[in-house]
Amino acid sequence: YWTWQRHRRLPLPPLLTGADKLQGARWEIYAALCKTISPIATINSVGVPVLILSTVEATLELFSKRSNFSCRPRWPMADLLGRQNNVGFQYYGERLKQSRKILNHSLNPSAVRDIWAALLEESSTGLMQRFLKSPDTFYHNVEWSVDTLIFRFTYGREPDHEYIEQAESAMNATNEALQPGKWWINTVPSLAYIPSWMPGAGFQRWARSAREKYATMIRDPFLRVQDDMASGDIPMSFVNHALQASENTSASNEIIMSAAGSLFSAGTETLVASILNIVLLLTLHPEVQERAYSELVAAIGSDRLPTLEDQMSLPYVDLIIQECQRISPPVPLVGHSNIREDTYLGYRIPKKSWVLANIWGMLHDDSNYTRPLDFDPDRFASVEGHQTPMDPRNLVYGLGRRICPGMHFANSFVFLVAAKLVACFELVPIERDGTKLPPPLQYTTGLICKPQPFMCIFKPRTHAAEILSERDEQSTVV
Ligand code: HEM
């Protein structure tokens, strides 16, 4: 009570004004406005306060050092859809800790190296083969390969068409449920308790149908792995790995099922965004591609594909990945929420506030990254006497107790795709009437930021067809 009394005298962080007068994505506008105001500012003070963090220091302090900010913002409509069982939406508590423990058991660096390396290698090579065969549909090829990779990782087999459709419809329903201002219930949570037959409770009926679809989508593939495990030898998968280590109670199985069901929505769009962004930025920078190709030929030659073991001998490829993640982090605003009221820099943070870390803003802060809009992988090269700026991979996966559990898996796949792209293709802008038309730097502005559909040419390098077909014959399946 006394803490509350003391805090009550403190003001909310300063209010950001003038956002409506600026153009650009939300994160760009917040970054521009916060620069002169404060590392923590208020975007919206009506109803649930929405705050924005614009510096690494503030984000480390709140998200990493304090456990209070490990909850997720509340969206009653998303709860009605049953998304509370999805790890990414779960509120902080015992169930979340158990889910994350299970995820870390299968996604820690040694598990990625020892169990999933063959799947990652095969999947990245498969993507190159698709680029070679049908370069015009490269955008779709990336989506298809990543969807298949995450499903195979989760359940050990290829997804059927029906699952992909169900997953897309579930993601669309979630996006609809998260639309600001669309649902009264998000502003008046008590509406969740009105019965679905009452007039005006249309949202209840819509939510029930979406919830049932989501439940089927996470239950059916899980039960299939469980049945297959009982009847014989089946491919390794997250579900298989987790069930082997579990107590096999209905409660622990249910947590594994929900954790598995969270991976598709969390892992696909983010990974697709990272890969398409690399394709886009490499197309725009031929000099960077040539330097990476020379490094690759000098390190491993041109008669085989790079593997995860070559990572240390390809430092320039690593600089390119860092710069691509900096230019366009797939999740530009990372949202956490605090369980109890708190204070920071003399400001009051009411409990259950939405606290958004502006990851894009931090990666474009010119006090850390000079000329932040320029694409310059060399900014991360270590030069004696100069401090290298922070590796963006320390930010793009979030921070603290909610940090992305798939980060090591994602980093390995992104490296393999980037290195194999450099080894197999020269990415060039399309030409019209003899003039090169570089693709525009245009990104989506929703929850996930990825390049908007664009065009480029995948020009195979001399040995591409050879090294890709050889690899096809030797392919190893987990
Ligand atoms: C480059 C690709 C990826 C990026 C940039 C990314 C980024 C993120 C971010 C920013 C968060 C929120 C972290 C926070 O709140 O502090 C997150 C959460 C999560 N990610 Fe990823 N992710 C990627 C790939 C993956 C993959 C491949 C998987 C699974 C195999 C995965 C599984 C998850 C899960 C389950 C969560 C929810 C964790 C929680 O709420 O406690 N992610 N990711």
Whether residue 88 has its Cβ less than 6 Å from ligand 1: yes
Whether residue 24 has its Cβ less than 6 Å from ligand 1: no
User: pLDDT (tens digit, 9 = 90+) per residue, 339-362?
Assistant: 999 999 999 999 999 999 999 999
- Residues flagged as binding site for heme: 404
User: pLDDT (tens digit, 9 = 90+) per residue, 14-39?
Assistant: 999 888 888 999 999 999 999 888 99
**Parallel, antiparallel, or unpaired for β 333-337 and 354-358?**
antiparallel
For residues 267-282, give the mean pLDDT: 97
Give a three-class secondary structure readout of 61-92.
HHHHHCHHHCECCCCHHHHHCCHHHCHHHCCC
**Residues in the chain, total:** 478
User: pLDDT (tens digit, 9 = 90+) per residue, 69-121?
Assistant: 999 988 777 777 777 788 998 999 999 999 999 999 999 999 999 999 999 99
For residues 181-191, give the mean pLDDT: 54
CB 78 within 8 A of CB 178: yes
For residues 239-249, give the mean pLDDT: 94
Distance 265 CA to ligand 1 centre (A): 9
List the single range of 44-58, 79-93, 129-143, 173-187 with lowest mean pLDDT: 173-187
Whether residue 361 has its Cβ less than 6 Å from ligand 1: no
Whether residue 357 has its Cβ less than 6 Å from ligand 1: no
Please determine, for residue 321, whether its predicted confidence score (pLDDT) is greater than 60.
yes
User: pLDDT (tens digit, 9 = 90+) per residue, 118-151?
Assistant: 999 999 999 999 999 999 999 999 999 999 999 9
Whether residue 397 has its Cβ less than 6 Å from ligand 1: yes
For residue 152, the model assigns a pLDDT of 97
- Residues flagged as binding site: 404
Please determine, for residue 477, whether its predicted confidence score (pLDDT) is greater than 50.
no
Ligand 1 nearest atom to the CA of residue 335, by list position: 15
For residue 205, the model assigns a pLDDT of 74
Cα dist from 50 to 184, 351, 356, 390, 422, whole Å: 18, 11, 8, 27, 42
List the single range of 225-234, 308-317, 326-335, 423-432 with lowest mean pLDDT: 225-234
Whether residue 93 has its Cβ less than 6 Å from ligand 1: no
CB 421 within 8 A of CB 128: yes
| pLDDT averaged over every residue in the chain | 90
Could you give the ipTM of this predicted complex?
1.00
Please determine, for residue 280, whether its predicted confidence score (pLDDT) is greater than 50.
yes
For residue 192, the model assigns a pLDDT of 53
Band of pLDDT at residue 476, cut at 50, 70 and 90: very low
Percent of the chain at pLDDT exceeding 70: 90
Q: Tell me which of 255, 270, 276 to substitute to probe ligand 1's pocket, judged by most ligand atoms within 8 Å of the beta carbon.
A: 270
For residue 473, the model assigns a pLDDT of 44
For residue 202, the model assigns a pLDDT of 63
CB 360 within 8 A of CB 330: no
For residue 110, the model assigns a pLDDT of 97
Which residue, judged by its Cα, is nearest atom 41 of ligand 1? 402
**Parallel, antiparallel, or unpaired for β 354-358 and 50-53?**
parallel
Ligand 1 nearest atom to the CA of residue 401, by list position: 41
Fold of 70-331+364-474: Cytochrome p450 (1.10.630)
Whether residue 86 has its Cβ less than 6 Å from ligand 1: no
Band of pLDDT at residue 196, cut at 50, 70 and 90: low
Which residue, judged by its Cα, is nearest atom 17 of ligand 1? 404
Which residue, judged by its Cα, is nearest atom 13 of ligand 1? 398
CB 347 within 8 A of CB 13: yes
CB 128 within 8 A of CB 134: no
Which residue, judged by its Cα, is nearest atom 38 of ligand 1? 88
Whether residue 117 has its Cβ less than 6 Å from ligand 1: no
- Alpha-carbon distance of 97 to 92, in angstroms, equals 8
Whether residue 260 has its Cβ less than 6 Å from ligand 1: no
For residue 228, the model assigns a pLDDT of 93
Whether residue 331 has its Cβ less than 6 Å from ligand 1: yes
Whether residue 73 has its Cβ less than 6 Å from ligand 1: no
Ligand 1 nearest atom to the CA of residue 262, by list position: 35
Ligand 1 nearest atom to the CA of residue 402, by list position: 41
Instruction: Between 79 and 296, name the one with better pLDDT.
Output: 296
Band of pLDDT at residue 216, cut at 50, 70 and 90: confident
CB 321 within 8 A of CB 435: no
Token digits of residue 241: 């790995």
The partner residues of 432 in beta bridges, in order of sequence, read 435
- Domain boundaries of the chain, sorted by first residue: 70-331+364-474
Whether residue 408 has its Cβ less than 6 Å from ligand 1: no
Please determine, for residue 368, whether its predicted confidence score (pLDDT) is greater than 70.
yes
Ligand 1 nearest atom to the CA of residue 89, by list position: 40
Distance 406 CA to ligand 1 centre (A): 6
Phi-psi label, residue 24: left if phi above 0, alpha if psi -120 to 50, beta otherwise: left
For residue 451, the model assigns a pLDDT of 98
| Radius of gyration for the chain, computed over Cα atoms and rounded to the nearest angstrom | 23
